[in-house]
Amino acid sequence: SKKHKVCIVGSGNWGTTIAKVVAENTQQHADIFESEVQMWVFQEQVHIPKDNRHYKSASDQPQNLTEIINSVHENVKYLPDIPLPHNIVANPDLVAAVKDATILVFNLPHQFIAKICQQLQGHIVPHARGISCIKGLAVSDEGCELFSERIGHELGIYCGALSGANIATEVAQEKFSETTVAYAPPEMDSRHPTPSGTPLPDAKGEEIDMKILSDGVQAGKKKLTPLPADYPPLHHGNMKKLFHRPYFHVYLVNDVAGVSLGGALKNIVALAAGFVSGLGWGDNAKAAVMRVGIMEEVKFGKMFFGSSVKTETFTEQSCGVADLITSCSGGRNFRCARMAVEEGKAIGVIEERELNGQSLQGTSTAYEVNSFLRKEGKEKEFPLFTAVYEILEGRHRPEEIPDLLNAGG
Ligand code: NAD
Ligand code: 13P
């Protein structure tokens, strides 16, 4: 029987880390997955840094990042000092990277995904399935969508989500972490393995409502192409085999919206935590911001993504409270917001200086969420999200956060 071929779409700090996790698992579970993992890399020319162990063998000229990754098996720019499994193949050609892939793992800063989906249209196998590791929301004039939904709609595939308390470097160093994977495709993917050649009862294709899968809101039907019978089924058990490692524990749930929203909205909260820390305020201030933050996350989910969003996803899973804690301790959004306040500089200036090409997701998410809340007339019901936006806009100062949170009470 056939095996699943995996492509990681993205190769930044988290993208490369997830490629490592997945490539270790495709080697281990050779009955389900092809060993080789394609990793699409946004091509750029880089110098191997002087403090890198591969510096001595480097040329004086900048080289293609893909060639460096494929020769020294390390992403020297976005995940330095982490040896990568040799079955990862860095590929600068998006269409070639996804060729024949039945599992597409989307992992890149959220601002780039629209263009990627456009480029992928018509080039993926129809029965492909997706997992979005993106922490952000797709806000447009039509409203607010999860990236799992956006990808699903654009490509006509089912797409789940992976999100958790996962500072990439810690996972890459194999320090213990947990994560949450939300994967709830229609029944037809979960069939028990059938003898090769046996037609599936639903082989004509199943009408599924892409939105209902994640949030219970009606948004038109799409035909999902069934997984051919000669592939191993893609149920929770096999999805776990793709991501679970001894140092990276995976919990599977069905609440795609809850998982995606926790990851996206905590980035706004982490900025607020950074602001109060930058003022030299203590852990109590940070905890207050986090308390309000998780309440606003749940409220946002229930208000805009329907009753299928479970409060427990936020309060009990890695993608909720645990991600909030880790992000408000050592995340990039937190650290850059803190430095911005300490140094009296714009956060974009700090991002540019500190992150060597990595992207903050919290600033754009704060703007996007605000534009959506304003349109819905709900800004006042989300005082923390609104305060972060106002501070980024320069209309309020971080010192005003206590008053802004207490405005109604
Ligand atoms: P990153 O912050 O390292 O971003 C850099 C990546 O963006 C590089 O691969 C770069 O090539 C790519 N890029 C730059 N310009 C581009 C363009 N025009 N088109 C396409 N790609 C371009 O990215 P990351 O850390 O891998 O984050 C990906 C997602 O994972 C984000 O949504 C993030 O919130 C989430 N996430 C990150 C971490 C983490 O610790 N880094 C942990 C969990 C989740
Ligand atoms: P930052 O993007 O703020 O570094 O957060 C990383 C993360 O998502 C940890 O789970």
Conformational region of residue 197, where left means phi above 0, alpha means psi within -120 to 50, and beta covers everything else? left
Q: What is the pLDDT of residues 112-137, one digit of tens each?
A: 999 999 999 999 999 999 999 999 99
What is d(CA 19, CA 222) in angstroms, rounded to the nearest whole number?
A: 29
- Inter-residue contact 396 to 387 (CB < 8 Å): yes
Instruction: Kindly indicate the confidence band of residue 303, based on its pLDDT and cuts at 50, 70 and 90.
Output: very high
Residue type, 243: F
Most distant CA atoms of the chain, gap in Å: 67
Q: Half-sphere exposure of 167 toward its Cβ, with a 13 Å CA cutoff?
A: 18
Instruction: Kindly indicate the confidence band of residue 29, based on its pLDDT and cuts at 50, 70 and 90.
Output: very high
What is d(CA 44, CA 253) in angstroms, rounded to the nearest whole number?
A: 37
Q: How far is the CA of 147 from the centre of ligand 1 (A)?
A: 14
Closest ligand to Cα 268: 2
What is d(CA 39, CA 92) in angstroms, rounded to the nearest whole number?
A: 8
Conformational region of residue 354, where left means phi above 0, alpha means psi within -120 to 50, and beta covers everything else? alpha
Nearest Cα to Cα of residue 113 among 90, 91, 130, 88: 130
What is d(CA 208, CA 97) in angstroms, rounded to the nearest whole number?
A: 28
Residue ranges around ligand 1 (CB below 6 Å): 10-15, 42, 78, 107-110, 112, 133-136, 166-168, 357-359, 361
Q: What is the pLDDT of residue 50?
A: 87
pLDDT at 185 over 90: no
The stretch 302-306 carries a mean pLDDT of: 95
Q: What is the pLDDT of residues 243-273, one digit of tens each?
A: 999 999 999 999 999 999 999 999 999 999 9
With a 6 Å cutoff on the Cβ, whether 317 touches ligand 2 is no
The stretch 152-170 carries a mean pLDDT of: 96
* Sign of torsion over alpha carbons 292, 298, 301, 302: negative
Q: Which residues pair with 245 in a beta bridge?
A: 248
Q: How far is the CA of 66 from the centre of ligand 1 (A)?
A: 16
Nearest Cα to Cα of residue 266 among 388, 407, 393: 388
Looking from the CA of residue 334, the nearest atom of ligand 2 is 3
pLDDT at 177 over 60: yes
Q: What is the pLDDT of residues 336-357, one digit of tens each?
A: 999 999 999 999 999 999 999 9
Q: Which tokens in the block code for residue 162?
A: 């992976």
Q: What is the pLDDT of residue 409?
A: 60
What is the rounded average pLDDT for all residues in the chain?
A: 91
Cα–Cα–Cα angle for 183, 188, 191, rounded to 5 degrees: 95
Helix (H, G, I), strand (E, B) or coil at 160: strand
Nearest Cα to Cα of residue 381 among 290, 274, 295, 272: 295
The stretch 148-167 carries a mean pLDDT of: 96
What is d(CA 358, CA 219) in angstroms, rounded to the nearest whole number?
A: 34
Neighbours of 259 (CB within 10 A): 34
Q: What is the pLDDT of residues 188-232, one digit of tens each?
A: 555 443 333 323 333 334 444 444 343 332 234 567 888 899 999
With a 6 Å cutoff on the Cβ, whether 188 touches ligand 2 is no
The stretch 81-94 carries a mean pLDDT of: 98
In sequence order, which residues have a C-beta less than 8 Å from that of residue 44 and are 6 or more positions away?
64, 65, 77
pLDDT at 24 over 60: yes
Helix (H, G, I), strand (E, B) or coil at 221: strand
Q: What is the CA radius of gyration of the chain?
A: 21
Q: Which tokens in the block code for residue 154?
A: 């654009």
Q: How far is the CA of 108 from the centre of ligand 2 (A)?
A: 12
pLDDT at 43 over 50: yes
What is d(CA 72, CA 320) in angstroms, rounded to the nearest whole number?
A: 36
Conformational region of residue 329, where left means phi above 0, alpha means psi within -120 to 50, and beta covers everything else? alpha
Q: What is the pLDDT of residue 59?
A: 78
Quick one: which H or E segment has residue 38? strand 33-40
pLDDT at 168 over 90: yes
Task: Write out the DSSP string of 306-333.
Answer: -TTS-HHHHHHSIIIIIHHHHHHHH-HH
Q: What are phi and psi of 307, to 5 degrees?
A: -75, -10
Quick one: which H or E segment has residue 34? strand 33-40
E strand residue ranges, 245-346: 248-253
Q: What is the pLDDT of residue 189?
A: 56
With a 6 Å cutoff on the Cβ, whether 351 touches ligand 2 is no
Q: What is the pLDDT of residue 211?
A: 42
Q: Which residues pair with 180 in a beta bridge?
A: 163, 251
Closest ligand to Cα 162: 1
Q: What is the pLDDT of residue 193?
A: 37
Q: What is the pTM of this model?
A: 0.93
Of 20, 266, 286, 310, the catalytic one is 266
pLDDT at 407 over 90: no
The stretch 367-393 carries a mean pLDDT of: 97
Q: What is the pLDDT of residue 218?
A: 28
